[in-house]
Amino acid sequence: MAHEFINLIVIIAGIAVVLFFAKAKNLEYGLFFVHLALVFIANGWLMHPGYMVDQIRYLFVTQNIINHVKLADYNLDDSTIWFTSHFFAYFPLPYIESCFSLGMINVFVFSLIYFFLKINKILLHKSLWFFLLYPSMMFYTSLALRETLILLFMFLGAFFVIQKRPVTAVLFSLPLYLIKFQNLLIFLVALALQTLLSRGVHLYKKIAILAFSCLMVYRHKDWLTIGGINHIIREMNIAATDHPLQVASHGAVLQTSLTNFFSFLLEPFLWNAANSFQFAQSIENMIVFSLIVAVVAKLFKRIPTEQSLIFLTVYFTIAVLVHAPFVTNYGTIARYRFPFIAIFLTYMYHFEDKNGEHEATS
């Protein structure tokens, strides 16, 4: 643990510098240090690191990269572990000794996301406090997982769409191809729809984005067959015994998506919670769902033609529809769900903050 203490000092110093240049207030400093403490609470008190086996895999591969051990015989899971572990291995932290090391790196990366959004005036009032206080995002970005990197590129992609720079948005989203391809695909479909319907985008950009999106879909067309869909369902629910492990048609997939839409956002329900962790997750889900309904109703009433709101809503809706038929494990649902909720509500609250400021000055 002596080495982890040195790591902690380095990360605290790094986060302090980031917050200083972001002109953070004292409460923001406090919340970041609570977030950093969660690295040790989550993996030392709430659960054993091995409970989420992916943490051990990332740690193992990262340490072997640092020690120049060949990994030819290790399953690198279609590059997702390879890319994320190389990022961890080359991150300038003195020691990589445990899942705590990787968790601290992720909290620092989260501080960089905060810095980017803060200096670009995305985090204003409600958007700032939601970003810093969303429990699922705090929890998963404190673990030794790829979720923080996924979140980084998702926030960047959505930011440049909002800035009406669709080509730049695609470029900053491309790393998702290596760490979570389905998230890139969902983003590209939403962006292609938004770009085609937008009047302010040049024709050549529309053609380029549509062509690239179609190419990405075509490269993974096997996923869209019934056999591919059933394979994904089996892989995502390998431990679930109560899930129908096959669908008969694409119509059945669509029906399941629509049927499970709200379940994906709200599970576990209170009456299904088997422990205190799931009970807390259920309470969070109900609160977050009410926030989603409230902000959507408010913004579409005030600024219904804002293209960025339409993009965010389409993006979020597609994400839920894509994931709803495939996942039944509550922990997996939470991991797949929180990045899209984080993106959606952070940027939606940004527009609510801006709209509130405009009304106050008019």
Distance of alpha carbon 107 from alpha carbon 81, whole angstroms:
19
Q: Quick one: average pLDDT of 16-36?
A: 97
Tell me how far apart the 2 most distant CA atoms of the chain are, in Å.
65
Q: Residue 351 corresponds to which tokens in the numbers above?
A: 């527009």
Q: Residue 293, SS3?
A: helix
- The first and second tokens of residue 285, run together, are 């889900």
The CA distance from 231 to 229, in Å, is 5
Q: Is residue 272 within a helix (H) or strand (E), and if so which, with residue range?
A: none
Q: Percent of the chain at pLDDT above 90?
A: 58
Q: In which region does residue 68 sit, left (phi positive, over 0), alpha (psi from -120 to 50) or beta (all else)? A: left
CB neighbours (10 Å) of residue 80?
19
Element (H or E) spanning 348, and its range? helix 330-361
Confidence of residue 74 (pLDDT cuts 50, 70, 90): low
Question: pLDDT digit string (tens) for 286-341?
Answer: 999 999 999 999 998 877 667 899 999 999 999 999 888 776 678 888 999 999 99
pLDDT in tens, 196-248: 877 777 788 888 888 888 888 888 777 777 777 766 666 666 544 455 456 66
Per the CB < 8 A criterion, the answer to whether 263 and 324 are in contact is yes
The Cα–Cα gap between 87 and 178 comes to 12
- Mean pLDDT along residues 77-94: 86
